[in-house]
Amino acid sequence: MKLLKHLTDHDAVQALGPGLITGAADDDPSGIATYSQAGAQFGFNMLWTVVLTYPLMVGIQLVSARIGFVTGDGLAANIRRAYPRPLLWLIVLLLLAANIINIAADVAAMGEALRLVIGVGTAHLYSLACGFLCLSLQVFLPYRSYVRFLKWLTLGLLAYVATVFAVHLSWGQVLRASLMPHFEWNATSVGMIVAIFGTTISPYLFFWQASQEVEEMREGTRRSLRKVKLDTLIGMAFSNLVAFFIILTAAATLNGIDIQSSAQAAEALRPVAGEFASLIFALGILGTGLLAIPVLAGSAAYAVTESFQWKNGLDLKLLEAREFYAIISLATIGGMALDFAPVDPIKALLWSAQINGVIAVPIMIIMMLLANNKKLMGRATLTRRHTVLGWLGVGLMVAAVCGMAATF
């Protein structure tokens, strides 16, 4: 009820910003493929993961947003201030590696989606074109100038929502699967759970939202902690709602199909939902890729430049923040180059999600300690309820990663 009240609050519309962009970017093409594979392979049995992660995702994203909002610095800058440099460099290096792998998966999915839309050509060439388009937009156009248009393309993801209501479902079974966890204790099942957690609660989102709160302050946008909370609640609700319906639709329509990419999932919709739904979903993949790649490359650039106290900001011009845009270029081109490596695409997708799940653990622990550090946060440290929620999220990720290690 409280969430519905927030969603209908007029102030909520004005509050939308970093939280909404972060939530939309979370459903990137590699995430779509992970959710599609989860539904196709495990049916309804993975729905509970998205329900469980929503409050924990909100909690940890609010921690990152709060750190940026209160301190006026990004996450890496605060880690530099509070902890030894080697720890900071290790975290930034892990983040950079995970983001490049994620960019590679997203660019590959965009190339496949574009091939699906056009109907001719090779996916590799389209992937290169999409990668250079994303890089050009990041370098030569202010991010905020084009992101408002790209957000409309993410509505293509709602094709999965519409498809659910076009097929016969046992909603009682869906409800039970959503509220009662069920999975088999083996490497495949536990690995998929870690992949879902990793693609939902991703480290790049922590760095991105904290830095974007700082960007909002630099631009003079007046926000309160209440508006930051509203923004995050709505953004994460959109993200998890889409993820839930992707798993649900894949379970209902693609059960037993070996899904290798998000574009393949879109193509598999044709026999069930028709050509139009497949086309709209493919366009949605392109839109989310164009939205997510700047977030992935940008979060890596924020982390590196904050570590060395270099100028940063997507609204700065190229010559004003040379190092920042150099990191964005290296991350994006590195991801494009990785697409030509002899790696199974589905393995790359799962590795990306699982790596995110593993490196999220130390970063989440550090974030919780930072958010309760009175020297940094003053009187704006976390409340007891928020602290409990944040540590529950940490505990969940630790348990999932340990379970994956045990089953391997």
One-letter identity of residue 133: L
Yes or no: say if 292 and 105 are a contact pair by the CB < 8 Å rule. no
25 vs 150: CA distance, rounded Å: 11
Yes or no: say if 346 and 260 are a contact pair by the CB < 8 Å rule. yes
One-letter identity of residue 142: P
pTM: 0.87
356 vs 269: CA distance, rounded Å: 28
| pLDDT for the residue 10 | 45
Distances (CA, A) of 222 to 117, 213, 226, 310, 342: 41, 11, 12, 25, 49
What is the tally of structural domains in the chain? 1
Q: What are 238's two structure tokens?
A: 């959109």
229 vs 219: CA distance, rounded Å: 19
Q: Supply the DSSP symbol for 382.
A: P
Yes or no: say if 63 and 390 are a contact pair by the CB < 8 Å rule. yes
Q: Looking at residue 355, which CATH number applies to its domain?
A: 1.20.1740.10
Q: Please give the chain's pLDDT, 408 residues, in tens.
A: 444 444 444 444 455 667 677 777 778 887 888 888 889 889 899 999 999 999 988 999 999 999 999 999 999 999 999 999 999 999 999 899 889 988 988 898 888 888 888 888 888 899 999 999 999 988 887 766 766 666 676 666 676 677 777 777 888 899 999 998 887 888 888 888 888 888 888 899 999 989 988 887 776 666 677 888 888 888 888 889 989 988 998 888 777 777 766 677 777 666 666 666 677 777 778 888 888 898 899 999 999 999 999 999 887 888 899 999 999 999 999 999 987 877 665 666 667 777 888 888 999 999 999 999 999 999 889 989 999 989 998 998 898 888 878 876
One-letter identity of residue 141: L
Q: What are 204's two structure tokens?
A: 């790049």
Q: What are 30's two structure tokens?
A: 């590699």
Closest of 355, 352, 399, 299 to residue 56, by C-alpha:
399
- The residue assigned the tokens 């340990």 is 402
| pLDDT for the residue 168 | 76
Residue 169 φ then ψ, to 5°: -135, 150
Closest of 47, 43, 135 to residue 326, by C-alpha:
135
| pLDDT for the residue 154 | 64
Yes or no: say if 368 and 387 are a contact pair by the CB < 8 Å rule. yes
Contacts of 206 (CB under 8 A, 6+ apart): 60, 61, 63, 64, 75, 363, 364, 367
Q: What are 330's two structure tokens?
A: 């290296």
Q: How many CA atoms lie within 13 A of 69 on its CB side?
A: 26
pLDDT in tens, 62-79: 999 999 999 999 999 999
Q: Which structural domain, as residue segments, surrounds residue 161?
A: 2-407
Q: What are 73's two structure tokens?
A: 């610095």
250 vs 260: CA distance, rounded Å: 13
Contacts of 102 (CB under 8 A, 6+ apart): 28, 30, 202, 204, 296, 335, 352, 356
287 vs 283: CA distance, rounded Å: 6
| pLDDT for the residue 9 | 47
One-letter identity of residue 105: A
| pLDDT for the residue 16 | 60
| pLDDT for the residue 157 | 65
Q: Supply the DSSP symbol for 254.
A: S
Closest of 304, 278, 362 to residue 100, by C-alpha:
304
Q: What are 259's two structure tokens?
A: 């899904």
Yes or no: say if 403 and 190 are a contact pair by the CB < 8 Å rule. yes
What DSSP string describes 25-54?
HHS-HHHHHHHHHHHHHHGGGGHHHHHHHH
| pLDDT for the residue 235 | 85
Distances (CA, A) of 16 to 26, 82, 232, 235: 16, 30, 8, 8
